[in-house]
Amino acid sequence: MRALLTRLAPLALMAAVYAHSTDAQAIPPELRPGTKPHHFEFGPTFGWGFFGPGHTPGASALIDYRYHFFGKPEGPSLGVASFIGGWNRRFHFSVGPMFEWDFRLVKDKPLALYLGPHIISGWRVEAFRNDPTYHYFFAMVGPTLKLIVNDFWVFWVRPANVDFRFGPDIYGHWTGALGAGITF
């Protein structure tokens, strides 16, 4: 235990000094704020229904593209998002417009860490192995936390999305996601 604390103490000291530093040079150039307005992102999603007939786990792949109106990775952006996946003899595909407004989290330091509330809505189709195909309108809201590296790579997490689906049935789904992408 003592050896572990001896190794972790210098790291904790460095993190504390960095957090209270006012010097812009303390932030590596790789983590400086981005300059490009286009984002293409992808990653896996996972979730669980919390009301309605969809009380089952779900998984899918998310792909989205957005353009930021102000020509930089901050502020409002509009694009398109698509989900494709399935679980337990069920296949689904969703597509629709996505709106996100990105804010830099640390305004007083040149760090490319952003928080962006988003909303995605559109059309969803679900097909079951031995049942008919269903069509839904869906709306999803939640936050995105992202880090831009080298003004090119984007790493993001969407920890708590709420997804409502309206069609033959109405149900709610909690969804989380994580992934990567690029800016250009």
Contact partners, residue 84, CB within 8 Å, separation at least 6: 60, 61, 92, 93, 94
The DSSP secondary structure of 164-175, one letter per residue, reads EEESSSEEEEEE
pLDDT at 104 over 80: yes
- How does pLDDT run across 143-177, given as a tens digit for each residue? 999 999 999 999 999 999 999 999 988 989 999 99
pLDDT at 1 over 80: no
Residue 16 is predicted with a pLDDT of 46
| Domain edges within the chain | 26-183
pLDDT at 61 over 60: yes
Give me the sign of the Cα torsion angle 14, 146, 100, 53. negative
Query: 29 falls in which pLDDT band (50, 70, 90)?
Result: confident
As a whole number of angstroms, the distance between CA 29 and CA 183 comes to 16
Instruction: Name which residue leads in pLDDT, 40 or 15.
Output: 40
* Residue 36 near residue 175 (C-beta atoms within 8 A): no
Please state which CATH number belongs to domain 26-183.
2.40.160.20
Residue 3 is predicted with a pLDDT of 56
Strand runs (DSSP E) across 14-152, as ranges? 38-51, 57-68, 75-86, 90-104, 113-128, 133-149
